[in-house]
Amino acid sequence: MRAESHLFHRIPAAPLPLATRGEGVFIYDEQGNRYLDGCSGALVANLGHGREDVARAMAEQAARLAYVHGGAFTTEPAETLARMLAELAPGDLDRVFLVSGGSEATETALKMARQYWVEQGRPEKYLVISRRLSYHGATLGALSMSGHAARRRPYRPLLADFPHIPPCYHYRCPFCQAEPDCNLRCAHALEEEIVRTGPEYVVAFIAEPVVGAAAGATTPPPGYFEAIRQICDRYDVLFIADEVMTGFGRTGRMFGIEHWAAVPDIIATGKGISAGYAPLGAVIARAEIYRTIQSGSGGFVHGFTYSGHPPSAAAGVAVLTILQEQGLVEAAARKGEYLKSGLLQLQARHPIVGEVRGKGLMLGLEFVRDRATREPFCRDLKVSERVVGAAFRRGLCVYPGSGTVDGVRGDHILVGPPLIISQPELDLLLSILDEALTDVENQVLG
């Protein structure tokens, strides 16, 4: 009998199994049950579980030097990680601000963009434009940028009034449905919004290259981010790529934005940077942004106690080294093709799967009541949670999502196993998901 829990659980009604260890793509609970981690937690554990090499790098650093304040000292792991990120990042992004996770990263990017324009003598600029059906984090600045109605609703009075433009959502595109081909109206919506708001008030546009939690791996068409880049340049608006989920190989490229010929001004990262071994994130900025602040007021008015935390930075160095040495970015692209074709076969058998989408090992399934009309299920049926539950009972973790259609209605799951997953493990994932979908269809159809 387990002692009473004093944790402030997110969903108190659901008792959780006690996870005790992990190995490769599997997690084990105290009863010895095995779960295939088909979503890397929340698309985090990209190298799989139980890696002694990463654990050792962190332990050695913790024993040598666990903490110094970033205002007083720099450290070897923080410098090394920043150097590696500057080398990996596209274009002239070469200054790195270390943080402890994704929300801190997007919040930092927002404040960096704002201070950059203040230092340029444009203090009237303060608004960040983002897209509906997006998620940029849980803190109030990050949530203000997030375009997800259900997540925003309880906190609405506390949020900054930032503008949101339509998402890039081919399956339900309000623009393309009236057109024979995609004409990138969703990208031009940014220009319309900047002009409507007044470019003199806009600091930045933020977007996830492939949308994760809010929309289930919706992916823009060719030319989308190229058009976004041109619009941002035309109106003196910085382009922030939120790579918290897409970064570090997840989509089959080191950064998700590299699928398009568009270099952002700032990249926000988290999750895969430490593959779950430590709380870590990083904001990578163009040298010019750093120089402007350096030669202006002389200091970024922002910081966290744990910025550059040495054992976390050591985890980041170890993870990025393994990622490159083992060619896991290319592996994600290859394995993603295999997994996607398996998911498309499941779609052919399961009428509730409306669309399979995504890139690399960041794949999404959107569920619909009627494939012909694309009508979503009533949210009360909790179809996404049912699929996740049916898979979990069979030993597979997939990541739930709802509000896919408009921030409230709609269901999807994300499938995003560790990049080290083998082909037999991918087959196991597909066969468990197949059974789970049959189970849910029997409950909700007919």
Ligand X SMILES: Cc1ncc(COP(=O)(O)O)c(C=O)c1O
Minimum distance, C-beta of residue 255 to ligand X, in the bound complex (Å)? 13
**Given the complex with ligand X, which of 25 and 213 has the nearer CB atom?**
213
Contacting ligand X (CB under 6 A), which of 37, 119, 193, 208? 208
**Given the complex with ligand X, which of 118 and 397 has the nearer CB atom?**
397
Query: Dihedrals φ, ψ of 267, to 5°?
Result: -120, 130
Minimum distance, C-beta of residue 410 to ligand X, in the bound complex (Å)? 17
- The answer to whether 150 contacts ligand X (rule: CB under 6 A) is no
Contacting ligand X (CB under 6 A), which of 75, 103, 108, 130? 103
Minimum distance, C-beta of residue 138 to ligand X, in the bound complex (Å)? 6
Query: How many helices and strands (H and E) does the chain possess?
Result: 13, 15
3-class secondary structure, 236 = coil
- Residue range at the interface with ligand X (CB under 6 A); choices 28-36, 86-94, 129-137, 285-293: 129-137
3-class secondary structure, 418 = coil
Amino acid found at 337: E
- The answer to whether 255 contacts ligand X (rule: CB under 6 A) is no
Contacting ligand X (CB under 6 A), which of 40, 61, 106, 384? 106
- The answer to whether 57 contacts ligand X (rule: CB under 6 A) is no
- The answer to whether 213 contacts ligand X (rule: CB under 6 A) is yes
Burial class (CB in 10 A: 0-12, 13-18, 19+), 365: buried
Burial class (CB in 10 A: 0-12, 13-18, 19+), 304: middle
- The answer to whether 362 contacts ligand X (rule: CB under 6 A) is no
Q: How many CA atoms are closer than 13 Å to the CA of 52, on its beta-carbon side?
A: 0
- Cβ(41)–Cβ(414) under 8 Å? no
- Residue range at the interface with ligand X (CB under 6 A); choices 136-144, 178-186, 257-265, 372-380: 136-144
Minimum distance, C-beta of residue 107 to ligand X, in the bound complex (Å)? 9
- Cβ(146)–Cβ(166) under 8 Å? no
**Given the complex with ligand X, which of 43 and 187 has the nearer CB atom?**
43
- β 411-415/399-402 pair status: antiparallel
- The answer to whether 270 contacts ligand X (rule: CB under 6 A) is yes
**Given the complex with ligand X, which of 237 and 244 has the nearer CB atom?**
244
Sequence-separated contacts (24+) of 344-350 with Cβ below 8 Å: 345/430, 346/430, 346/433, 346/434, 346/437, 349/434, 349/437, 350/434, 350/437, 350/438, 350/441
- The answer to whether 136 contacts ligand X (rule: CB under 6 A) is yes
Sign of the C-alpha dihedral, residues 440, 368, 377, 383?
Answer: positive
Minimum distance, C-beta of residue 416 to ligand X, in the bound complex (Å)? 11
Number of residues that bind ligand X (CB under 6 A): 16
CB count in 10 Å sphere of residue 208? 29
Contacting ligand X (CB under 6 A), which of 41, 102, 167, 417? 102
Minimum distance, C-beta of residue 245 to ligand X, in the bound complex (Å)? 4
**Given the complex with ligand X, which of 359 and 369 has the nearer CB atom?**
359
Closest residue by beta carbon to ligand X: 102
Minimum distance, C-beta of residue 260 to ligand X, in the bound complex (Å)? 17
Residue 287 has which token pair? 């040298």
Beta bridge partners of 27: 22, 35
Residues that bind ligand X (CB under 6 A): 42, 101-103, 106, 135-138, 208, 212-213, 242, 244-245, 270
